[in-house]
């Protein structure tokens, strides 16, 4: 007997079938006589059940083989249909490609015919334009010949006028150069004078700034409350002022903390500090740094 493997589901079904067969065989068995021994019927039932089991197994194997063959036949049929469909598809693609080729050839022929017609029209138009250009050229040359004498006369008069204008331009150019040189000299002199005045003014501003710095320090010193612990100490302050001398901001930059607090209090107590009414001097005073030292 050929060997084969039985799946779990098939095994369960087989056992169920065996159970049914055993039940049926037991149902149709003649009643056992009381005078018979119990061993003989059991042996017969086992033999019958074994044969029934083998028959069922062969039947199931045959059914499975037939089912497999049927499935293989179905797969072959599907493959045949697929190959046939592929052949039909290729034939249709070939036909479509041929139609497209024919259509493209017709389009190319029409395009060539249209191009030839366009070229013919363009050639005709070019010939007409060439004839018209030749006629225009002839007329233009005739006009040029007529104007030649007039132009020669006008050119002579123009040349004489240009020579006269050139001489006049040279004269004016010379005058302009002399005037520019004089203006440049005056400008240089003016700039030198302004520079000198600015230097003098810068010195004056510096002097004025120093003067007002001294006045501001004196004002702070008058309001400064000092003690012996501040002796030899100093404080660097930054003070910002309005145009009327009003203190808008005061802050400590460096120095002794105690002296700085006293100095800031003295500035705030002053409320306004001396400032110059002159704008350039005030510009240097509006944001100043001062060192405050107690006069001990």
d(CA 218, CA 292): 10
Q: Is a pLDDT exceeding 60 seen at residue 250?
A: yes
Q: What is the pLDDT of residues 124-136, one digit of tens each?
A: 888 888 888 998 8
Q: What is the pLDDT of residues 93-120, one digit of tens each?
A: 888 988 889 888 989 988 888 888 888 8
Mean pLDDT of 211-215: 89
3-class SS of residue 239: strand
pLDDT at 41: 47
Hey, how many other C-beta atoms are within 10 angstroms of the C-beta on 229?
12
Cα torsion 67, 70, 71, 73 to 10°: value is 160
DSSP 8-state secondary structure symbol assigned to residue 8: H
d(CA 266, CA 226): 10
Residue reference for tokens 């589901």? 9
pLDDT at 205: 59
- 266 within 8 A of 239, measured Cβ to Cβ: no
pLDDT band at 50 (very low <50, low <70, confident <90, very high): confident
pLDDT band at 43 (very low <50, low <70, confident <90, very high): very low
Which stretch of 20-29, 140-149, 235-244 has the lowest confidence by average pLDDT? 20-29
Range 22-28, long-range pairs (CB < 8 A, 24+ positions):
22/49, 25/49, 25/52
Q: What is the pLDDT of residues 152-189, one digit of tens each?
A: 888 888 898 999 999 999 889 988 888 888 888 888 77
DSSP 8-state secondary structure symbol assigned to residue 228: G
d(CA 247, CA 265): 12
d(CA 122, CA 135): 20
Give the residue among 267, 273, 282, 270 at the shortest CA–CA distance from 208.
Answer: 282
Q: What is the pLDDT of residues 150-159, one digit of tens each?
A: 888 888 888 9
pLDDT at 48: 56
237 or 190, higher pLDDT? 237
DSSP 8-state secondary structure symbol assigned to residue 121: H
Hey, how many other C-beta atoms are within 10 angstroms of the C-beta on 147?
11
d(CA 83, CA 165): 102
pLDDT at 260: 93
Mean pLDDT of 244-254: 93
3-class SS of residue 278: coil
pLDDT at 8: 45
Q: Is a pLDDT exceeding 50 seen at residue 206?
A: yes
- 282 within 8 A of 256, measured Cβ to Cβ: no
Give the residue among 252, 226, 256 at the shortest CA–CA distance from 239.
Answer: 252
């Amino acid at each position: 007997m050929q060997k084969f493997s039985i799946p779990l589901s098939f095994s369960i079904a087989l056992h169920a079938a065996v159970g049914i067969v055993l039940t049926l065989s037991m149902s149709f068995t003649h009643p056992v006589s009381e005078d018979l021994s119990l061993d003989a019927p059991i042996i017969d039932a086992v033999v019958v059940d074994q044969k029934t089991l083998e028959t069922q197994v062969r039947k199931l194997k045959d059914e499975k083989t037939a089912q497999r063959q049927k499935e293989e036949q179905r797969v072959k049929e599907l493959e045949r249909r697929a190959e046939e469909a592929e052949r039909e598809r290729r034939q249709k693609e070939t036909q479509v490609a041929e139609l497209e080729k024919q259509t493209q050839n017709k389009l190319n022929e029409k395009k060539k015919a249209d191009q030839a017609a366009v070229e013919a029209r363009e050639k005709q138009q070019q010939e007409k334009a060439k004839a018209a250009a030749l006629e225009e050229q002839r007329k233009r040359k005739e006009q040029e010949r007529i104007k030649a004498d007039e132009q020669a006369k006008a050119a002579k008069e123009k040349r004489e006028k240009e020579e006269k204008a050139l001489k006049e331009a040279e004269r004016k150019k010379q005058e302009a150069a002399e005037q520019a040189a004089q203006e440049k000299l005056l400008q240089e002199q003016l700039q030198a004078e302004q520079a000198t005045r600015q230097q003098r003014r810068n010195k004056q501003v510096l002097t004025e700034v120093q003067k007002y710095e001294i006045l501001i320090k004196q004002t702070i010193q008058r309001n400064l409350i000092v003690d012996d612990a501040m002796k030899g100490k100093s404080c660097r302050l930054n003070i910002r002022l309005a145009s009327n001398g009003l203190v808008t901001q005061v802050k400590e930059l460096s120095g002794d903390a105690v002296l700085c607090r006293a100095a800031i209090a003295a500035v705030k107590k002053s409320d306004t500090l001396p400032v110059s009414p002159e704008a350039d001097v005030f510009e240097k005073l509006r944001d100043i740094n001062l060192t405050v030292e107690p006069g001990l």
